[in-house]
Chain A
């Protein structure tokens, strides 16, 4: 294994670079998007190789899955839009030669300098601070990444939930101006395979998501990965017509959207009762409180990702699921 691994790493790096180059250099949008999804999957392999399974799970579910679905949908909407230049020949004027070489020079020079600096920095990584090591190893939650996310750097995660909400609100404002949902055409007939596939995938995805959520306190997994999987389930339901778009946001969805941020912020206020600092955990019930916050975050992440994909103000379960032809 030892003599093979440098070869594998170099090949992995070269593969990433080649895919990234194909993404930015390809002519068509569709090609670029599909290559980007492959890029996300190869990146997940790189992270698993670097010993970060939490990230590999999240990258595979979010970058390759949900981002890919979002991008593909945007491409489809572009093609379906009448009065728009058709695919194949997007009328990109070739930039002047001098400008092109300037861009190449900037990117090439920067890339070389960054690659050298980053490799040098990576060789001289400082050790993990002993205080951090003690704080993580003595924590009631066993998974170090979850400890950082929920406790030691709780502010980051709290504000991240705010960013999720902002993204949806921003989209909601855009949709208030124009009917973007109309640009989101569903296929006329859902392929007959899709229905039974979704039916089979539903319990598997639900169990996997709940497992990832539950195991997140002690093993790789957690609210982000579980929420992303549930969001992927929502995307599948939306694509097969089991979830319908609405032009308003029902109360239950509003609650789901703010649940993660609300529970986290409420906990921050409450923690002032037993501590001088917001977001500090009660010594008795650390694991229980962490699990509650994670549950709320998982629900919010799943609801927000589904709504961001749906591109509509709200969604509801279709009364009669679409049957195959």
Chain B
């Protein structure tokens, strides 16, 4: 099936984009979205691995794993959003400081 190569390559690049969201951004919502994109990339790769041409039936094991993964990622998102809101209630921010030393010494430019 022709779909596999472009979509598998897409999965690899998507993972990197998600990683950029995780480590290149400071806003916690953006980081969470980056983590979700990384998860989607892995799901896409697993689904690509499960395909077996048009007439043959697909491999159901990766598909079942992805189905499980989708539900788990929505749970993690919900819990992470709860943590983000908790952090906002506690500190009034929704970014993480780079380190406690930064927060103490250089809070002015953060």
Q: Does A248 reach chain B (CB closer than 8 Å)?
A: no
Do A6 and B17 have beta carbons less than 8 Å apart?
A: no
Whole-angstrom CA separation of A92 from B58 in the bound complex: 45
Whole-angstrom CA separation of A84 from B59 in the bound complex: 49
Contact A167-B78, Cβ < 8 Å, known A108-B16, A136-B60: yes
The interface residues of chain B lying within 8 Å CB-to-CB of A309 are: 78
Contact A100-B24, Cβ < 8 Å, known A24-B17, A50-B47, A54-B67: yes
Q: Of the candidates B12, B34, B88, which one forms a contact with A81 in the assembled complex, judged by CB atoms under 8 Å apart?
A: B88
The interface residues of chain B lying within 8 Å CB-to-CB of A125 are: 4, 49, 51-52
Contact indicator per residue, chain A 171-182, by CB within 8 Å of chain B (1) or not (0)? 100110110100
Do A148 and B61 have beta carbons less than 8 Å apart?
A: yes
Whole-angstrom CA separation of A147 from B67 in the bound complex: 13
The interface residues of chain B lying within 8 Å CB-to-CB of A110 are: 15-16, 19
Interface bin, chain A: 35 or more
The interface residues of chain B lying within 8 Å CB-to-CB of A70 are: 74, 77-78, 81
Do B60 and A171 have beta carbons less than 8 Å apart?
A: no
Q: Does A116 reach chain B (CB closer than 8 Å)?
A: yes
Do B20 and A118 have beta carbons less than 8 Å apart?
A: no
Q: Does A320 reach chain B (CB closer than 8 Å)?
A: no
Contact A115-B9, Cβ < 8 Å, known A33-B33, A63-B70: yes
Q: Of the candidates A63, A163, A171, which one forms a contact with B40 in the assembled complex, judged by CB atoms under 8 Å apart?
A: A63
Do B4 and A114 have beta carbons less than 8 Å apart?
A: no
Quick one: closest B residue to A132, CB to CB?
Answer: B61
Whole-angstrom CA separation of A46 from B47 in the bound complex: 10
The interface residues of chain A lying within 8 Å CB-to-CB of B99 are: none
The interface residues of chain B lying within 8 Å CB-to-CB of A136 are: 60
Within 8 A of B (CB), among A106-126: 106-108, 110-119, 121-123, 125
Quick one: closest B residue to A84, CB to CB?
Answer: B92
A-B pairs, 8 with minimum CB distance? A111-B16, A115-B12, A114-B12, A24-B21, A13-B10, A167-B75, A144-B60, A122-B8
